[in-house]
Structure 1
Amino acid sequence: MDNKLTHFDNSGNARMVDVSEKNKTERVAIAVSRIKVSKETLELIRLGKIGKGDVLGVARVAGIMASKQTSNLIPMCHPLMISSCNIDFEINDKECCIEIKSTVKIVDKTGVEMEALTAATVAALTIYDMCKAVDKRMVIEGTHLLKKTGGKSGEFNFHEKTL
């Protein structure tokens, strides 16, 4: 694995990586995040009784929109034509949280890890925003890349041990 930092030139100045010589390949990135909420908030979300509306529906749209805006938020990200972005939620009653999974796909010269991470994070932030009137103690945690495929660096799976 090449550990050379490619976002800096020989003088140490920040730069966008040149991907013009790379081949387009199918790339998929899956990221997760979770938001811990009170039992009461979780029930209000489930019943659709949060005053701002359909929390998970709005958070899903926000996550999708965020994936498409990543290059406007993260300075060295390339603008990408995303092929697909899905946001899935799992309500975990035992841990009083909502688990968020974003899956972003593309056929291009660079990966979509940052887009998947941004999507999951913004979905969590949207849940926070929509529920903060009833629960200011919510905690967003555990945001990370779960899996990625495609590209020169190959496959990554968070749950597989590396040497």
Structure 2
Amino acid sequence: MTDIKTGINPLFLREEELRQGIELLFFAYRDFTSEPDAILADYGFGRAHHRVIYFVGRNPGMTVSELLDILRITKQSLSRVLGQLVDEGFVTQKPGIRDRRQRLLALTEKGIELERQLTERQRARIARAYREAGAEAVEGFRKVMLGLIDEADRPRFPLRQPPRR
């Protein structure tokens, strides 16, 4: 049933569709994390370790404060996870150039290899889903995901221009 004034079909806002969206997110997250979880378990690591490895790998030289801002966890929680990753040789910490109190984070070669193993499975899963869904659905998915995250984090994901032909 389409609203004549707006041209919008509100059926996707019915309770059942909203509940199905919630369930799809739960199942997608379960399956998206299952393979990396198995790899992490071999190291005695969990999802918090995965997030640290992922974001430090994507942002070499980031500060602990920047990582805390992304992860939104307590300093105490990050300290435990980061300490383990540093002690086991996956992450390095160096003092900041301008502010020596800052700790700049980067992955070691060992950390880069673990990040690659964890990400390649998730990347393949997303690539498969994107191929099956098509470009229009991918853009719709991106819009929905942006709508789900807090507004303050949305600028982290600028619109990308389509490639030139």
More strand by share: 1
Of the two, which has the highest radius of gyration?
Answer: 2
* TM-score bucket (shorter structure): under 0.3
The one of the two structures with greater contact order (alpha-carbon pairs below 8 A, sep at least 6) is 1
TM-score calculated relative to the size of structure 2: 0.25
More helix by share: 2
TM-score calculated relative to the size of structure 1: 0.25
